[in-house]
C-alpha cells in the first residue's frame, strides 16, 4: 500500500489546545485534497476515540473517489472497530509484528513504526512495519518529551539503512519540506506545521500538497 507524500497527524491534544474540533479540522484536510492521515489521541476513553474516528471518516465521505487511508495511533483493536486499515505504533507500544497479527483480518492493512536512531531503524527494517517514521528531523513543540533531533543527516543515514518507505516527522514546514524530501524521505508527517497564524490549516495543507507534487 502506497504511503502518501503528505501525512497529516490529527492530534487531539494539539486541537484541544487551539479550541478546534476534530471534525472541523478533518473537514479542512478533506477539502485540501489529503488522502492519508493519522488520528492520535493518548488520553481519551475508547468510545471517545471511536467517535472522533467516525467524525474524521464522515468529513471525508464527500470524496469517496480518494479512498483515503485512515491510520490510528497505538490501538489496532480500536482501528478494527472503526473499520480503519492502518495503525502506527511507537517504540514502547505493541510490536509491529503483534499489530500485524491483530490486523491480519484486514488484507489491506498498513503498519507504521516510529524510530529515533540508527539501531531502531535497523530493527524496523527487519520487523513487520510497512513504513518507518524517522524523527524528529527538526525541533518540534507538538510532542511532549520529544526525542533528540536527528536532523537531515540523521535522515540520510536512515535512508541508507532501510528499503522501506520513510516518513519524516518533526518540525517540518513549507519552508523546509523540500530539503526533507531531498534527504531521502518518501513522505512527511505534519502536525504543528499546519497551524500558521492568519492561515487556515486547509490552505497550509494544500500548499504542502503542491510543494510535494
pLDDT per residue as tens digits for the range 67-77: 899 999 999 99
Question: What per-residue confidence (pLDDT) applies to 168?
Answer: 98
If you average pLDDT over residues 161-186, what whole number do you get? 98
CB 3 within 8 A of CB 35: no
Question: What per-residue confidence (pLDDT) applies to 80?
Answer: 95
CB within 8 Å of 69: residues ≥ 6 apart: 1, 4, 35, 36, 37, 85, 86, 110
Dist CA 144 CA 167 (whole Å): 20
Four-residue CA torsion sign, 184, 189, 192, 196: positive
Report the predicted TM-score, pTM, of the whole model to 2 decimal places: 0.95
Domain residue ranges in the chain: 6-212
Look up residue 136 and give its three cell numbers. Answer: 524528529
If you average pLDDT over residues 87-93, what whole number do you get? 97
pLDDT digits (tens, 9 = 90+) for 95-110: 999 999 998 755 579 9
Burial class (CB in 10 A: 0-12, 13-18, 19+), 19: exposed
High-pLDDT (> 90) share of the chain, %: 90
pLDDT band per the 50, 70, 90 thresholds, residue 144 = low
pLDDT digits (tens, 9 = 90+) for 2-47: 899 999 999 999 999 999 999 999 999 999 999 999 999 999 999 9
Beta pairing, strands 86-89 & 36-40: unpaired
The larger pLDDT score, comparing residue 140 to residue 90, is at 90
Which letter does DSSP use for residue 103 in this model?
G
Burial class (CB in 10 A: 0-12, 13-18, 19+), 114: buried
Question: What per-residue confidence (pLDDT) applies to 37?
Answer: 98
Is the pLDDT reported for residue 182 higher than 80? yes
- CATH class of this structure's domain 6-212: alpha beta
Tell which phi-psi region holds residue 135, choosing left (phi > 0), alpha (psi between -120 and 50) or beta.
left
Q: Cβ–Cβ contacts within 10 Å for residue 1, how many?
A: 12
Q: What is the mean pLDDT of the chain?
A: 95
CB within 8 Å of 48: residues ≥ 6 apart: 41
Amino acid at each position: 500500500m502506497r504511503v502518501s507524500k503528505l501525512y497529516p497527524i490529527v492530534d487531539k491534544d494539539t486541537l484541544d489546545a487551539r479550541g478546534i474540533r476534530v471534525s472541523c479540522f478533518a473537514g479542512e484536510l478533506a477539502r485540501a485534497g489529503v488522502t492519508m492521515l493519522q488520528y492520535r489521541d493518548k488520553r481519551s476513553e475508547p468510545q471517545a476515540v471511536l467517535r472522533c474516528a467516525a467524525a474524521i471518516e464522515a468529513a471525508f465521505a464527500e470524496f469517496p473517489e480518494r479512498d483515503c487511508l485512515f491510520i490510528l495511533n497505538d490501538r489496532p483493536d480500536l482501528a478494527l472497530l472503526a473499520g480503519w486499515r492502518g495503525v502506527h505504533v511507537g517504540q514502547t507500544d505493541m510490536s509491529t509484528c503483534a499489530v500485524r497479527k491483530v490486523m491480519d483480518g484486514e488484507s489491506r492493512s498498513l503498519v507504521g513504526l516510529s524510530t529515533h536512531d540508527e539501531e531502531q531503524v535497523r530493527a524496523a527494517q527487519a520487523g513487520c512495519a510497512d513504513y518507518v517514521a524517522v524523527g524528529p528531523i527538526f525541533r518540534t513543540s507538538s510532542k511532549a518529551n520529544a526525542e533528540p533531533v536527528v536532523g537531515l543527516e540523521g535522515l540520510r543515514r536512515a535512508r541508507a539503512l532501510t528499503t522501506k518507505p520513510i516518513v519524516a516527522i518533526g518540525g517540518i514546514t513549507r519552508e523546509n519540506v523540500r530539503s526533507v524530501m531531498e534527504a531521502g524521505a518518501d513522505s512527511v508527517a505534519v502536525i504543528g506545521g499546519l497551524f500558521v497564524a492568519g492561515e487556515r490549516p486547509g490552505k497550509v495543507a494544500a500548499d504542502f500538497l503542491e510543494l510535494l507534487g
